[in-house]
Amino acid sequence: MNHYAVFGYPIQHSLSPRIHEQFGRELGIPLTYERRAVPAGSLAQAVQAFIAEGGRGANVTVPLKTEAYALATELTLRARRAQAVNTLSFEDGVIRGDNTDGEGLLADLAYHAVALSGARLLVMGAGGAAQGIIGPLLDAGVAHVTVWNRTASRAAEWIARVGDARMSLPVAGDSYDIVLNATAASLGHAVPPVPDDVFRGALAYDLAYGPVARPFLAHARTHGAQSVLDGLGMLIEQAATAFCVWHGVRPDTSGVRVLLRGEAA
């Protein structure tokens, strides 16, 4: 039996075990998948302990994605680009870091028939979550990405680092097709203090999922969002890509979508 885990803090509400176990059942691949509460600063010990127990791979979530990036001894191209890691594989002393978040977001937007080509985006946040999705969004042919961050200087530094002419800081009065909340605000039950008019006519999407995403999505609706989505679909799709990294086959996600929609609501 192969052992997997998700590391993060807090972690008790993570749906990743349900998702991976269900994929395994559907594809006839036996596996165990557990949650491990790992506070910031202690990922290295947690990984070493898990490897010693025979662990084959792990997902990594808030607040550990940058730590996982630093810990990996090999990085895939998409992890290097994201400068953040959400999927670790352990084999022959190698800790390989990958990032499936961007692909997960794109797959979920495609599932909901949201067009990215030519779209004007507002990305809120400039941390690991935002960095994890920007490369695939730019590759998908978006027209423009405005970056809003609570600490504006961090957004400016990130834009300069990425070096794509389609990214810029907010300009008052701009309108957007998609507003993505990639901040950690929802986890603290807060709504980022963006101007109310950014939501008008847009799809509002919170990378967080379940009850914690509700205040942001309700706020977006109140201020004119045309539609809203939480990050459950992204979670399921990034898990499907991580599953493929570990087991070589990408599961169909429709069964898990139906199974979990009720639970996360």
Chain Cα centroid distance, residue 186: 13
| 3-state percent helix, strand, coil for the chain, nearest multiple of 5 | 45, 20, 35
**Among 47-55, 127-135, 221-229, 250-258, the segment contacting ligand ATR (CB under 6 A):** 127-135
Binding-site member from 184, 212, 242, 260 for ligand ATR (CB under 6 A): 184
Cβ closer to ligand ATR: 139 or 157?
157
The answer to whether 163 contacts ligand ATR (rule: CB under 6 A) is no
Which of the residues 201 through 260 are near ligand ATR (CB under 6 A)?
none
d(CA 122, CA 213): 17
Q: Which of 150, 145, 193, 139 lies closest to 169, judged by CA?
A: 145
The answer to whether 151 contacts ligand ATR (rule: CB under 6 A) is yes
CB of 138 to ligand ATR, least distance (A): 18
Q: Is 91 left (phi over 0), alpha (psi -120 to 50) or beta?
A: beta
CB of 9 to ligand ATR, least distance (A): 12
- From residue 127, alpha-carbon distances to 10, 65, 135, 189, 208 in Å are 18, 10, 14, 18, 14
Answer yes or no: 65 catalytic: yes
Place of tokens 């941390």: 127
**Among 43-51, 182-190, 212-220, 228-236, the segment contacting ligand ATR (CB under 6 A):** 182-190
Binding-site member from 18, 36, 154, 257 for ligand ATR (CB under 6 A): 154
Binding-site member from 27, 29, 51, 62 for ligand ATR (CB under 6 A): 62
Cβ closer to ligand ATR: 17 or 192?
192
Q: Which of 181, 178, 82 lies closest to 135, judged by CA?
A: 82
Q: Which of 196, 184, 212, 211 lies closest to 125, judged by CA?
A: 184
CB of 21 to ligand ATR, least distance (A): 25
**Among 4-12, 122-130, 229-237, 255-263, the segment contacting ligand ATR (CB under 6 A):** 122-130
CB of 193 to ligand ATR, least distance (A): 7
Task: Provide the 10 A C-beta neighbour count for residue 89.
Answer: 19
CB of 82 to ligand ATR, least distance (A): 10
Chain Cα centroid distance, residue 42: 21
Query: What is the DSSP code (8-state) at residue 98?
Result: E
Which of the residues 74 through 103 are near ligand ATR (CB under 6 A)?
none
Q: How far apart are the first and last CA of the chain?
A: 32
Binding-site member from 24, 57, 97, 128 for ligand ATR (CB under 6 A): 128
The one catalytic residue in 65, 81, 96, 247 is 65
Residues recognised as catalytic:
65
